[in-house]
Amino acid sequence: MTRKTRTITADQVKLLIREGEGLTVEFKERYTPRIDQDIVAFANAKGGMILLGVRDDGTVCGERLTNDLKAKINSLARNCKPTISVEMAQVGKVAAVVVPEGTEKPYSCGSGYYRRLDGNTQKMSHDELGIMFAENEPFPFEEKTLRGFTFDDISKAKIRAFTKEADIRIGRAPVPDFLRSLNVADDTRVKNAGILFFAEDVYRHIHQAQMTCVAFKGTDKLHIYDRRDVRDDLLTQFNEAVAFLKKHLNIRSEIRGVNREDIYEIPLEALREAVVNALMHRDYSITGTQVSVEVYDNRVEIVNPGGLPKGLTLKKFGSVSIRRNEIIADLFSRLNKVERLGSGIRKMRKAMADAGLAEPEFDPNGFFTAILHRSPEFALKEGVPGSEKRVGDRLTETAQVSDRTSALKVALKTSVKSALKTASAIMEAMDQDSKITVPDIAKAISVSTRTVNNHIRRLKEAGFIRRVGPDKGGHWEVVQ
């Protein structure tokens, strides 16, 4: 690994601290020999900077870069395999260690192979190590630059929108300094990742940076009744996609305490995860393509160009975290749109299960498609063609009747079929054993304890069941 001299200024360090940890920045309150893990993680990713003397919350506590400390850090870096050359500098109270991106990946230290994921250094499993370097793409699309694109083509309004969403205070930092601090620009040019997030006119420079949101009548692509084409930055695409889905999915309301909570037929957390995955993992090098968000009567499909990364099978998908676009993923992580440490797919599956819906399906052939199934009851439309009034709207209206029992009957009849089945199974279990516990009910009917508790709460509110006596020692009564 060759050394490239880099001057580190106090303003740069202050900006990095305000932005927080990420793909290329790690805070350490003080030196420990375990920073060799961070060194190899940065070398295996995009390079980065370790700031010694900075707590996780950005508070500067200080670290002196003595000759002895320099020798220790250099020794750690030389003992990595292959050897890594680092630069060090005292910048105010902070000791900065700069690690360049490696040219002989993968790198390891005494405790194994590491990488950066969502602002964390994470040890790689054997599977992740093999998949991460299988494609051997030395210069991915997000890191390339476009001839003719300059810093003047950047939108300050989009930078303000990004920093507001990410809760970052950059003060009066110049645009080039801000972009470089996020690793979306070099000394003279803006990388494609920066263009995708901050260009004034993204589509003008990268035509495939677009999304199409379509709502179909029925279960095929014959009849379109709403369409939205989004040719803008990735944060705008994400927000527009979620808004489109909320517009075309059914909703019901529940009173919880003194507040009303809107509940969508497909959990929003699952939808958001599917959208952000499509934007993070799509192959932006494929021209003439776009991300598609498609709403059908029985399902939602979110499609992005590019299948699974080479070496990653559908069986391992969701348990092995591989990012096709590391910089784009880091920016979404800063926006708090990404589940940390790659738990998003698991969270999506759990959200669907807790809602009583079928597990999401994934089709990686050619384009990657995430399929989230709607409730059969919710999906039925009523009225003349063109009407957007759905059964879910009736549910919200009808559930406002004064009699709680009638409200629940309406809800159970017009909500998810599996919810009705689960509620009935819970009451049957209580009929058979009035002292049965929630864990025993969950085990008996093969659902989670959280699902049981949610159903019990609704059944109690509607007057179908009641608890007599304390939680321990009491019993259930099913009201006939």
Tell me whether residue 383 is in a domain. Answer: no
* 280 and 352 both lie in a single domain: yes
Strands (E), 35-77: 48-52
Indicate whether 276 belongs to any domain.
yes
Whether 270 is covered by a domain: the verdict is: yes
The reported pLDDT for the residue numbered 342 is 55
Domain assignment present for 187: yes
27 and 83 in a common domain: yes
Residues 369 and 221 in one domain: yes
How confident is the model at residue 364, as a pLDDT? 80
Which pLDDT value is given to residue 97?
97
**CB 193, CB 325: distance < 8 Å:** yes
Pairing outcome for strands 87-91 and 48-52:
unpaired
163 found inside a domain: yes
On whether both 246 and 370 belong to a single domain, the answer is: yes
Nearest one of 260, 250, 258 to 298, comparing CA atoms: 250
Can you give the pLDDT at residue 118?
72
* CATH number, domain containing residue 290: 3.30.565.60
Residue 389 lies in a domain: no
CATH of the domain at 108: 3.30.950.30
DSSP codes of every residue in 197-219? HHBTTHHHH-TT--EEEEEEESS
Nearest to 183 by CA among 201, 198, 164, 205: 198
Last residue of a domain, one of 63, 91, 124: 124
* Number of domains the chain is built from: 4
State the Cα–Cα distance between residues 13 and 17, nearest whole angstrom. 6
Task: Please list the residues that pair with 50 across neighbouring strands.
Answer: 26, 97
**199/220 same-domain check:** no
- Do 367 and 226 share a structural domain? yes
Residue with tokens 């096709």: 324
Residue given tokens 């360049």 in the structure block = 100
Are 271 and 417 in the same domain?
no
Residue 173: inside a domain: yes
Same domain, 221 and 362: yes
Q: Based on the domain organization, do 340 and 472 belong to the same domain?
A: no
So what's the pLDDT on residue 377?
61
Which structural domain range is residue 168 located in? Answer: 143-205
**Low-confidence residues of the chain: pLDDT under 50:** 1-3, 319, 379-417
Please tell me the predicted confidence (pLDDT) of residue 443. 85
| For residue 106, cis peptide bond before it (omega within 30 degrees of 0) | yes
Do 301 and 221 lie in one domain? The reply is yes
In a shared domain, residues 259 and 369: yes
Question: Measured in Å, how far apart are the chain's first and last C-alpha atoms?
Answer: 76
